[in-house]
Amino acid sequence: MKQLVLFFSLISSFAAFADGGTLLVEGKYQNRNLFVQNGFNNTGVGFCAYEVRVNGQVTTDEVNSSAFEVDFTPFKLNTGDKVVIEIRHKDGCIPKVLNPEVLKPKPTFDVVNINVTEDGMLKWKTKNEMGSLPFVVEQFKWNKWVKIGEVGGQGSPSEHQYEFKVVPHSGENKFRVKQTGFGSAPRYGGPATFSSLMEKPSFEVAADSKTIKFSTETSYEVYDFYGNVVKKGFGNNLDIANLHKGKYYLCYDTVVTEIEKKKN
């Protein structure tokens, strides 16, 4: 995923009148124009910016003013197309882009279908993506949606197929995908559900309070009483030797339970 990059590169200008620099802005076209605040140059005569290029082409925007708009209409861009804007300016001053966020992608995808295969692969097909954003894969367990991974989005409106290997728990399983862009609410796809016939694991805290043993491999998290995650992983043995004596919450499979470590 390549989000908006805004940086300055002081280079030699080929303008005949002065050395200067280039303000470079990159992003994805989102059907909105860019606005630039353009002060006077350091001599107080004339304005700072003197030329704007979009993807290498000089614009016809009127830059000889205190503020101007970079109009993308003449370039016949499609939503999600990459844009590189070069704002060339005189030495000793830098124009300011007022709304750089308009070139950052937002989640717009629609899910065509989403399901989990028999071999534990979450698969989903999308359309109408308007910028490269990661798909966050979430699983519902422990009474909440838990992030289990990410898959990079393609970022174009055509249909795209994605997949992610999931680890089911006992009983009903639910998975979903989401994207979050700049300044926008998350967009969700799913859920995909299926029932697993696997047996719910049990656990036992060792007498020396150094390990927890599960009857089968499982995902787990351990929280202290302040809600901080102190252990996280997957397997059938959980090392708790370095935890202080006291009470904790153990989350595994679909279970949330309280445990007590009796020895340091």
Q: State the pLDDT at residue 132.
A: 85
User: Residue 111: helix, strand or coil by DSSP?
Assistant: strand
Same fold, 5-103 and 203-261: no
Q: Please name which of 37, 24, 10, 16 lies closest in space to residue 87, comparing C-alpha atoms.
A: 24
For residue 59, give both structure tokens.
């614009």
Name the CATH architecture for the domain at 5-103: Sandwich (2.60)
Confidence of residue 76 (pLDDT cuts 50, 70, 90): very high
Give the separation between CA 260 and CA 258, rounded to whole angstroms.
7
pLDDT for 105-135, tens place per residue? 889 999 999 999 988 999 999 999 988 899 9
On whether the CB atoms of residues 48 and 40 are closer than 8 A, the answer is: yes
CATH number of 203-261: 2.60.40.3080
pLDDT for 41-56, tens place per residue? 877 778 999 999 999 9
Confidence of residue 9 (pLDDT cuts 50, 70, 90): very low
* 205-234: average pLDDT: 95
Confidence of residue 157 (pLDDT cuts 50, 70, 90): confident
The tokens 């009903």 sit on which residue?
172
Tally Cβ neighbours within 10 Å of residue 230: 15
H or E element at residue 70: strand 67-70
- Where are the domains positioned within the chain? 5-103, 110-196, 203-261
| Domain 110-196 is found in CATH 2.70.50.50 | yes
Confidence of residue 264 (pLDDT cuts 50, 70, 90): confident
On whether the CB atoms of residues 237 and 214 are closer than 8 A, the answer is: yes
Residue 137 CA to its chain's centroid (Å): 11
Give the separation between CA 120 and CA 214, rounded to whole angstroms.
22
Phi, psi of 75, deg, nearest 5: -95, 0
Residue 232 has pLDDT above 70, yes or no: yes
Angstrom CA distances, 38 to 43, 103, 202, stand at 14, 19, 67
Residue 3 has pLDDT above 60, yes or no: no
Q: Please name which of 161, 100, 162, 152 lies closest in space to residue 131, comparing C-alpha atoms.
A: 152
